[in-house]
């Protein structure tokens, strides 16, 4: 009598064979056939009949998987090839080409160049509207939810376009900031103390989520209605040393609050830096409390120049360009630092601000409880004396102002 056919592989135990059979049962189609062919080559010398006896798989499927590996061609069944709904790009190629051209015109490459993702400002609703304006009918244009998936699938993610960051060292920009008609003043580069100042948006105190995530206490209010305690952050960045000075005021954001905070910052600076500089160059945005036409602010800045005994040079950024102000990047670091934290009281606010770092340096933080009055202005007669102290650039009278100190 012929010997009984071998039903198991002596190399593998029963539990190992059961594991391989279980793994194959989780697969389907060409993936399953490729796995069975690999196991056949490894344990059964590529013999389909022996593989069937060992693992219980159909030898026709194992043989087909071996042939697919040999030829490099994968067999696709009629159901897999023709069933299912095709993608919109395949059914509407002309509309798809128009959409991709439209998205490319509104896209921006990843600013970090670390990925191939393009950030686009084109929303799904706007894409549908523009495709319809090109003449594509309703049947050719998908629904908004489908349109969003199509844009994401083709690598166009809906993100806010990142603000362009200015270069840290740009000789052309520095020359532009130091060019003045008639060479009104000349001072060595080492004698200028460069400061950048600005106020941040008001910070609400309470159990608010602030739009962040935390692993600790995650019970927070989902809105900020009824908030009674608020603080106004004012910051000054010493561009030469990288030191940040933060002042949190409990009153109003006024010209007096800004200049008072600036005076305290000047007092905190090292004596060597104050003695070495001849001019204080202050970069600011053209906000309503510190603009080049705000009478109370200009009056206080004249007093600040007299108090310090230094020439004060005010440089304002044009409208919609305050993002180039260096202190704005410090606000972004602070917001990321305490994002997700529940700022329940002033002490928590100050402690989190103290632990922030900018260029490896912790900021110097102060708290101001002084009450400031809003709407303080100067009369035209009083402003004439202040205006006499201002040396305005003829080309940029509102954005380039020089104030010389008067002694005695």
Dump pLDDT digits (tens) for 212-236.
Answer: 666 555 677 766 666 778 899 999 9
pLDDT tops 70 at residue 308: yes
Cα gap 408→406, rounded to integer Å:
7
pLDDT (average), residues 87-93:
87
pLDDT exceeding 70 applies to what percent of the chain?
79
**405 touches 310 (CB < 8 A):** yes
Instruction: Give the residue from 316, 254, 330, 252 showing the smallest Cα distance to 286.
Output: 316
In the chain, CATH 3.30.420.10 covers 190-208+228-403
Question: What does the angle CA 269 – CA 275 – CA 278 come to, to the nearest 5 degrees?
Answer: 105
Q: Measured between alpha carbons, how far is 234 from 232 in angstroms, rounded to an integer?
A: 7
pLDDT for the residue 37? 93
By percentage, how much of the chain surpasses pLDDT 90?
Answer: 42
Q: Give 187-217 pLDDT, tens digit per residue.
A: 444 589 999 999 998 888 887 776 666 655 5
> Which tokens in the block code for residue 401?
């102002």
Helix 144-153 to helix 124-133 angle, to the nearest 10 degrees? 100
Q: Quick check: 408 pLDDT over 70?
A: no
pTM (2 d.p.): 0.55
- Which ranges of 72-122 does DSSP label H, i.e. alpha helix? 78-82, 88-91, 93-105
Alpha-carbon span 270 to 243, nearest angstrom: 11
Q: What is the mean pLDDT of residues 148-175?
A: 60
pLDDT at residue number 363: 94
* pLDDT tens-place string over residues 245-283: 999 999 999 999 999 999 999 999 999 989 989 999 999
**What pLDDT is stored for residue 299 in this prediction?**
95
Burial letters 29-66, b for 16+ CB under 10 A, else e: ebebbbbbbebbeebbebbbebbbbbbebebebbbbbb
Tokens matching residue 280: 């204080």
Residue 135, pLDDT above cutoff 80 = yes
Within 10 A of 309 (CB to CB), how many other CB atoms are there?
11
Counting other chains too, the contacts that 70-76 makes at CB distance below 8 Å and 24 or more residues apart are 74/30, 75/30, 76/30
Q: Coil, strand, or helix at residue 367? A: strand
CATH tag, 190-208+228-403: 3.30.420.10
The string of pLDDT tens digits covering residues 390-403 is: 999 999 899 999 99
Cα 337 from Cα 348, distance rounded (Å) = 13
């Amino acid at each position: 009598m012929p010997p009984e056919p071998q039903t198991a592989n002596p190399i593998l135990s029963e539990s190992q064979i059961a594991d391989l059979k279980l793994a194959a049962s989780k697969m389907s189609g060409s993936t399953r056939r490729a796995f069975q062919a690999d196991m056949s080559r490894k344990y059964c010398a590529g013999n389909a009949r022996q593989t069937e006896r060992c693992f219980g798989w159909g030898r026709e499927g194992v043989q087909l998987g071996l042939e697919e590996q040999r030829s490099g061609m994968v067999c696709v069944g009629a159901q897999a090839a023709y069933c299912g709904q095709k993608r919109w790009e395949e059914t509407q190629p002309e509309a798809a080409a128009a959409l991709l051209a439209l998205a490319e015109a509104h896209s921006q490459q990843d600013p970090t160049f670390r990925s191939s993702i393009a950030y686009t400002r084109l929303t799904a609703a706007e894409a549908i509207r523009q495709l319809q304006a090109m003449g594509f009918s309703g049947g050719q244009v998908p629904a908004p939810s489908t349109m969003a998936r199509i844009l994401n699938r083709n690598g166009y993610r809906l993100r806010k376009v990142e603000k362009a960051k200015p270069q840290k060292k740009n000789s052309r920009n520095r020359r532009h900031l130091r060019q003045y008609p008639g060479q009104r003043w000349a001072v060595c580069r080492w004698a200028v103390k460069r400061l950048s100042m600005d106020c941040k948006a008001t910070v609400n105190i309470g159990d608010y989520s602030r739009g962040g995530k935390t692993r600790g206490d995650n019970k927070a209010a989902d809105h900020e209605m009824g908030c009674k305690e608020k603080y106004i952050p004012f910051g000054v960045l010493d561009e030469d040393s990288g030191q940040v000075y933060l002042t949190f005021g409990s009153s109003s954001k006024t010209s007096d609050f800004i200049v008072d905070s600036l005076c305290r910052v000047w007092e905190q600076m090292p004596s060597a830096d104050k003695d070495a500089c001849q001019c204080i160059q202050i970069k600011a945005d053209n906000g309503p409390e510190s603009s080049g036409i705000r009478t109370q602010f200009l009056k206080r800045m004249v007093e600040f120049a007299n108090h310090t005994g230094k020439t004060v040079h005010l440089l304002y950024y044009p409208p919609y360009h305050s993002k180039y102000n260096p202190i704005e990047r410090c606000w972004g670091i602070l917001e990321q630092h305490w994002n997700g934290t529940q700022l329940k009281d002033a002490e928590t606010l100050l402690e989190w601000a103290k632990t922030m770092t900018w260029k490896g340096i912790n900021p110097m933080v102060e708290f101001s409880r002084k009450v400031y009055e809003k709407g303080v202005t100067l009369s035209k007669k009083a402003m004439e004396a202040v205006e006499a102290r201002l040396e305005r650039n003829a080309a940029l009278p509102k954005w380039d102002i020089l104030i010389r100190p008067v002694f005695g």
